[in-house]
């Protein structure tokens, strides 16, 4: 079914390209109406997100061609409102924002709504915060127009940080009026991020499920994978395991394995050991006989998860046995960090060794200190260790000695304290490394 769909999409794009070439013989690009060219661009962009990546080159070609056409067009061409909308859609579809500025300077007839164009210029120029109020006022007016779905995306992006709930409202509208298009793909992908960041886990999973069913062949699907991995790791305790498995089941085996490996890695770094073990196990199951690297990575991430919760010695042996030449630079750093942690866990505390060395055997009658004592004197000595001892002067305690005496009174073994301090400094360094990996 997947092959048939890809073949159909590719054939459709080919036919559309052929039709455009035939039309160009009768009508040169300089004579084509911008709104007709925008229709071709929309068709190609929608085809790309549905899985035909061969159309990406055509998308770049059309963006360049439309840009040239708009820049060289006679201002009278915008007497047709469809061409005005085409220019606005072009600007919101990845076109050159400078082209819109050029058109506005030439617009002496007032074809463009200055409220809308000024707002778009601010947004496209990186001044989206200045556009929030204007977009809120303008959007209802343009909601049902040809630019409505694109304006909904822009409006949502401008309020993502300040009002995530309103942003989702805009994205939901865009999806409603433009299903199966690049607009819906972008709206779904960004909705996952907003809902996850806001803690609306059910909404985020619903958006992720829709995306997985429709747009896994989009060139932007890798961004979806990153968002979903972060969602699963950050909120694993709140999610049902079967929901995670269901969303990943829509992917082909290589992509499932890749996502499981990403999930296992981030989960291991984040201390989500149960998820790390689960994801690593699934990645191992999905790895073919001739695919050594995925299995190696799964073993590494599984070992990372086992260090704090399982048989540390066995986990360390597995980690050390992983060949470095199968790992990336970052994964080699993770391996070294895991090895260091395991060694610290397994290392015998200095305090225990010191205590064993400091043990003194109990004195018996054969002990030299008892020699020359009669039975009564020996009994007195046993009852009073200071009996018969010479009086010794009391020395003034030094600060180090006072500290030691204080620790002994408080039940703190200095040797053990040194061990903990040394271990903590090493673990702090490892934590810094893992934080860098997680970011």
The pLDDT tens digits of the residues spanning 391-405 come to 444 444 455 555 555
Mean pLDDT of 264-273: 85
Q: Which residue has the tokens 């007497």?
A: 79
Given a cut of 70, whether residue 342 has pLDDT beyond it is no
User: Is residue 208 in a domain?
Assistant: no
The answer to the question of residue 29 being in a domain is yes
Residue range of the domain that includes 90: 1-112
Flag whether pLDDT at 64 surpasses 60.
yes
385 pLDDT above the threshold of 50? no
Domain membership flag for residue 415: no
In this structure, of 47-51, 83-87, 227-231, 313-317, the range with the lowest mean pLDDT score is 313-317
**Selected residue with higher pLDDT from 32 and 426:** 32
Residue 72 has pLDDT above 50, yes or no: yes
Residue 101 in domain: yes
Q: Which two three-digit tokens encode residue 349?
A: 């505390």
Q: Is residue 68 part of a domain?
A: yes
pLDDT of residue 397: 47
In a domain, 271, yes or no: no
Question: In this structure, are residues 224 and 189 in contact, taking their beta carbons and an 8 Å threshold?
Answer: yes
Reference 297, options 346, 259, 271; nearest CA is 259
Counting Cα atoms < 13 Å in the Cβ hemisphere of 349 gives 14
Kindly state the helix (H) or strand (E) to which residue 404 belongs, with its residue range: helix 399-409
Distance CA 334, CA 269 (A): 9
DSSP character for 288?
A: -
Inform me whether the pLDDT recorded for 244 exceeds 60: yes
Dihedral of alpha carbons 302, 303, 304, 308, sign? positive
In whole angstroms, give the CA distance from residue 77 to residue 79.
5
At 428, is the pLDDT very low, low, confident or very high (cuts 50, 70, 90)? low
Residue 301 has what pLDDT?
75
What pLDDT does 329 receive?
Answer: 78
- Average pLDDT of span 54-60: 93
Residue 154 predicted with pLDDT over 80: yes
Euclidean distance between CA atoms 208 and 156, whole angstroms:
18
What is the rounded CA–CA span in Å between residue 22 and residue 26? 7
Q: What is the mean pLDDT of residues 294-313?
A: 68
Give the residue-averaged pLDDT of 350-369.
54
The Cα–Cα gap between 346 and 310 comes to 12
Mean pLDDT across the chain, nearest whole number? 77
Find the helix or strand (DSSP H, E) in which 14 lies: helix 2-26
Q: In total, how many domains does the chain have?
A: 1
Lowest mean pLDDT among 22-26, 49-53, 224-228, 403-407: 22-26
On whether the pTM is more than 0.75, the answer is no
**The predicted structure's pLDDT at residue 133:** 82
pLDDT of 112 over the 70 cut: yes
Which of the pair, 238 or 387, is modelled with greater confidence?
238
Residue 411, Ramachandran bin (φ over 0: left; ψ between -120 and 50: alpha; else beta): left
pLDDT of residue 156: 94
Has residue 224 been placed in a domain?
no
- In a domain, residue 77? The reply is yes
Backbone angles phi, psi at 347, to 5 degrees: -65, 135
Residue 219: Cβ within 10 Å count: 13
Tell me what pLDDT residue 23 has: 47
Write out pLDDT tens, residues 170-212.
999 999 999 999 999 999 999 999 999 999 999 999 999 999 9
| Model pLDDT, residue 271 | 81
Query: What would the two tokens of residue 4 be?
Result: 């048939």
pLDDT the model gives residue 429: 53
The answer on pLDDT for 220 being more than 60 is yes
């Amino acid at each position: 079914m997947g092959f048939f769909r890809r073949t159909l999409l590719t054939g459709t794009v080919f036919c559309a390209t052929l039709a455009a070439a035939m039309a160009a013989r009768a009508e040169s690009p300089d004579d084509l109406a911008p709104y007709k060219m925008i229709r071709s661009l929309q068709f190609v962009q929608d085809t790309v997100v549905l899985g035909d990546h061969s159309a990406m080159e055509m998308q770049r070609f059309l963006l360049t061609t439309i840009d040239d056409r708009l820049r060289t067009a006679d201002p009278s061409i915008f007497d047709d409102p469809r061409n005005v909308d085409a220019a606005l859609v072009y600007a919101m579809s990845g076109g050159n924002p400078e082209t819109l500025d050029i058109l506005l300077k030439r617009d002496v007839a007032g074809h463009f709504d200055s409220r809308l164009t000024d707002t778009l210029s601010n947004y496209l120029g990186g001044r989206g915060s200045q556009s929030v109020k204007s977009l809120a006022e303008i959007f209802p007016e343009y909601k049902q127009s040809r630019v409505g779905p694109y304006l909904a995306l822009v409006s949502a992006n401008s309020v993502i940080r300040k009002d995530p709930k309103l942003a989702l409202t805009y994205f939901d509208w865009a999806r409603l009026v433009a299903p199966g298009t690049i607009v819906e793909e972008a709206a779904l992908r960004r909705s996952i991020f907003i809902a996850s960041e806001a803690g609306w886990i059910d909404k985020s999973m619903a958006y992720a499920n829709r995306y997985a069913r429709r747009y896994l062949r989009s060139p932007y699907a890798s961004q979806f994978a990153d968002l979903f991995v972060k969602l699963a790791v950050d909120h694993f305790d709140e999610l049902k395991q079967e929901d995670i498995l269901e969303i990943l089941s829509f992917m082909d085996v290589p992509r499932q394995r890749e996502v499981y490996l990403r999930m296992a890695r981030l989960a291991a770094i984040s201390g989500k050991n149960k998820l790390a073990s689960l994801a690593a196990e699934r990645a191992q199951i999905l790895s073919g006989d001739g695919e050594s690297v995925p299995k190696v990575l799964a073993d590494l991430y599984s070992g990372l998860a086992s260090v704090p919760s399982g048989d540390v010695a066995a986990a360390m042996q597995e980690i050390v046995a992983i060949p470095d030449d199968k790992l990336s630079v970052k994964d080699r750093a993770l391996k070294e960090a895991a090895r260091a942690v395991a060694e610290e866990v397994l290392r015998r505390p200095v305090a225990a060794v010191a205590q064993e060395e400091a043990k003194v055997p109990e004195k018996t009658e054969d002990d030299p200190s008892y020699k020359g004592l009669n039975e009564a004197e020996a009994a007195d000595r046993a009852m009073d260790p200071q009996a018969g001892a010479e009086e010794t002067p009391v020395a003034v305690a030094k600060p180090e000695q006072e500290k030691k005496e204080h620790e002994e009174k408080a039940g703190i073994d200095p040797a053990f304290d040194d061990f903990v301090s040394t271990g903590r400094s090493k673990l702090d360094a490892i934590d810094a490394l893992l934080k860098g990996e997680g970011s």
